[in-house]
Structure 1
Amino acid sequence: MNFQPLIGLYLISPLWASLALYSSDPVLQFAMAGDRATLKCGLPSIGSCSSVNWTVRGLIWDKYEVVTAGKVTHLNEDKYRLLKDCSLEISQMERDDAKLYTCESGALNSSVSLRFFDIAENKRPAEGIIELHCSYSKSTGYDLCKNDTNIHITWTTEDDVPITGNRFRFENPSVCFSKLIITRKLTDHHRIWKCQITQNGEVKASGKYRTTVRDGLEEVFTAVGESVSLLCRNTSSPRLGDRIEWKLNNKMLSDLVPENGQTNLCHVNKDSSLVINKLTPLHAGDYQCMGSSEEQRVLHKIRVHTLDVAANTQQIGGNLSLICVLTCVEKCEENFNLTWSGSNQERWQGRLFNVNNTLINELLLPVWPVSSDAITCSVYREGSKMASKSLSSLKSLHVSWVSALRLGLIIGVPAVGFCIYMKWKHCNNAEP
């Protein structure tokens, strides 16, 4: 976006920019419960805040002052504070604070229409459904959203990707109320959904909601070679005698660590989180943190998928073969996708394979691109990027699949999809 015209307009007409701040139309502002809301006094240069009054209007007959002559006069003084720039600060937003606030100084005035922004879950949805509600309102029992123009409520993933797919449905009973209806999956556990309010294409408010699914699995994607920390949630109220232990695929993790003199591959922190050092494809699996009192309790479940890259040293038809591998716990879901990107091409097209519990994307290049930028493979879930692994040169392609297979014999996780694929490639490209 070119910002030069905007800057030039500001330099040429600073007075126009100031006057726009106290036009007859109030500025629209949103805040969620518990937020600290700062309402700007949009009047041009004020020498002192001692001439400033802040008034509040709810219903037509509900009007009162909270600041008079630069001093907070409301009975609840702890709730309001006048800042040095004459802005009004509300310490903790509540639904009833959603009203019209006006900053006055002499004959000048400027208003802020504060709206209460809320994301909630319908706790009694239809069977197999998660239903989230996103709404805003001006004040309790008094809804003026029908007069709002160019305002839209949209739903996105945590990284602002629009939510699409057959298992999602949207209902918008009014301008200020929207529903996101999700066909539930176990892996929706601890997923974050985002609601945004936009006006004329500009984001005015954004909020997040984390869903929980009974007996669900939190899904984690991570790159091979990195370290990952798995949080054991639901440990805020431990039972007497509880000691946190971890399982991998229903086997105690302490029994799966190699005893051949290697450095421990994982350890448990004081906060009960499990740290895995230098992840391998064989660390893909279902993890459980357990409360080991007399009655073992599953506190949290985490499903870990791993992303890795490798190179076929034997060129195929004169091309260099790069392979991106997502190792899934079970068969990789249809909404998983692998994509290559780099400096020469924004998105390279590869050949996608689904072999056993692995999703594989092979990229054929005539030569390694002449660039300092890396080639990156990313895994997407329902359009949202979950993990990436980059390569800056062929020297960085060092994956010991033999070591991984040996580790697999110890851990007991079948990770043979890549090996099967490479064997298939060898057979199909062997000379007769």
Structure 2
Amino acid sequence: MVGVHHTLIQLLILKLLSTGVFGESSSTYTYNILGDDVNMPCKNLVYPVHCSSVEWIFDKTGLLNAIQEVSEGKVRVDSNRAERLTVKPDCSLTVHNVISEDVGRYTCRDGNIDSLTILSLLTISSSTPESDLKPDYPLTLRCTLYTLLGPGMCRYEELDKISLGWVDQTGADLHEVFRYHFTVHSTCDITLKVTLQREDINRRWTCQLTDKGEVKTSIDFHSTLSDVDKWVVIGVVVFVAVFVVITTLVIFTKRTRIQMPVNTGHMMLANNSDGEQADITYSVVNIPAGSSVMNRDPKTEYATIRTKS
């Protein structure tokens, strides 16, 4: 009961803030995924804009835990997120590389005018690491929206009007395919279960967030089946190895067929034209029967003559 009362108090405070009890207010809902750069507008400012009078306040559970992130138009140096926060010339606030800790309410305050932005984060998780996915093995994907009330909790104003759904890489609704099974934990927390097949290699599974029939954001999961990749690589390596061996054998066979046997060379002395002796090295060449070389003059002799200096 204590937890229920605590949640009701949170909802009451948020409701009072968003309806302008503590000053004029307007609310903006933004849905993002991990790593996004999120820009939040500061509305209802009086032009010309002077950001020196603007402050940004962040909270998750109401004013009691509010943190001032921007003072007099500048990011506070003592902020834990100072390196990821930027104030633009129009006084809007950008949160870079958003993470789950950034989920919550952001209030731009200029005097007694408040502009509210509710930041939520869409996440996807797998029951099995991507490197361990295999054909005929089950895959469980859970798509959850993290809100200021917690993961999968959407019972608050505009958040109550959103829905999550799964589609394939062509955009087709997976809810109409019999091989998929779904568990709806809440309107912003849904699980998909499927037994993987070989055609699921490099398949993209997409969780879409829809608000009043309009897709606001989506997040993907890619299935890379480890066994399929391994056998593809092994097949390529074996094919290359066989090709190299066959090519080497063909080249070696051709060279062996055209090689002609040659007798060991002999050396003798002979007189040159000046009457001096010189070494003459000669060899007897055996021509295979039927060779085209037989059409030449069989009396032709081949010799290398080296003369002494």
Over the aligned positions, Cα root-mean-square deviation in angstroms equals 3.1
SS of equivalent residue, structure 1 residue 251: helix
Determine the structure 1 residue equivalent to 2:76: 73
Counterpart secondary structure, 2:228: coil
Greater fraction of residues in strand = 1
Question: Which residue of structure 2 lines up, in the alignment, with residue 247 of structure 1?
Answer: 236
Deviation at 1:49, TM superposition (A): 1.8
Is 1:108 the counterpart of 2:97 in the alignment?
no
Q: TM-score, normalised by structure 1?
A: 0.44
1:319-353 deviations in whole A, cap 9, x for unaligned?
xxxxxxxxxxxxxxxxxxxxxxxxxxxxxxxxxxx
- Whether contact under 8 Å (2:25, 2:113) holds in the other structure is no
Once the two structures are TM-superposed, the CA of residue 182 in structure 1 deviates from its matched residue by 1.4
Q: Match of 2:66, as an amino acid?
A: K
Rounded to whole Å, the distance in 2 between the matches of 1:189 and 1:155 is 18
Give the residue type in structure 2 aligned to 1:114.
Answer: L
Q: Does 1:211 align with 2:216?
A: no
Query: What amino acid is aligned across from residue 92 of structure 2 in structure 1?
Result: S
Amino acid in the other structure paired with 1:171: T
* 1:199-244 per-position Cα deviation (integer Å, ceiling 9, x unaligned): 11122211111113231369xxxxxxxxxxxxx9xxxxxxxxxxx8
Task: State the 1:26 CA deviation.
Answer: 2.2
TM-score using structure 2 length: 0.60
What is the Cα deviation at residue 132 of structure 1? 0.7
2:165 aligned with 1:154, yes or no?
Answer: yes
| Matched residue SS, 1:216 | helix
Matched with 1:172 is: 184
- 2: CA distance, partners of 1:118 / 1:74: 30
Cα gap change, 1:184/1:25 in structure 2, threshold over 3 Å: closer, same or farther? farther
Structure 2 CA distance for partners of 1:175 and 1:253, relative to 1, 3 Å: farther
Name structure 1 gaps, 5 residues minimum: 1-21, 219-231, 233-243, 260-432
Q: Is the aligned partner of 1:118 residue 2:123?
A: yes
Which structure: greater helix fraction? Answer: 2
Q: Which residue of 2 aligns with 1:137?
A: 146
User: How far 1:175 moved relative to its partner?
Assistant: 1.5
Match of 2:99 among 77, 94, 97: 94
After superposition, the C-alpha distances for 1:4-62 in whole angstroms (9 at most, x for unaligned) are xxxxxxxxxxxxxxxxxx98552111222222221122335542222221111112321
Considering only CA atoms, is the larger Rg found in Structure 1 or Structure 2?
2
Q: 2:54 aligns with which of 52, 76, 92?
A: 52
SS at structure 1 position matched to 2:155: helix
Distance 1:245 1:123, change over 3 A: closer
Letter in 1 for 2:59: R
State the identity as a percent.
Answer: 24
* SS of match in other structure, 2:124: strand
**Which residue identity is paired with 1:119?**
I
Runs of at least 5 residues in structure 2 that lack an aligned partner in the other structure: 1-22, 248-309
Structure 2 match to 1:31:
32
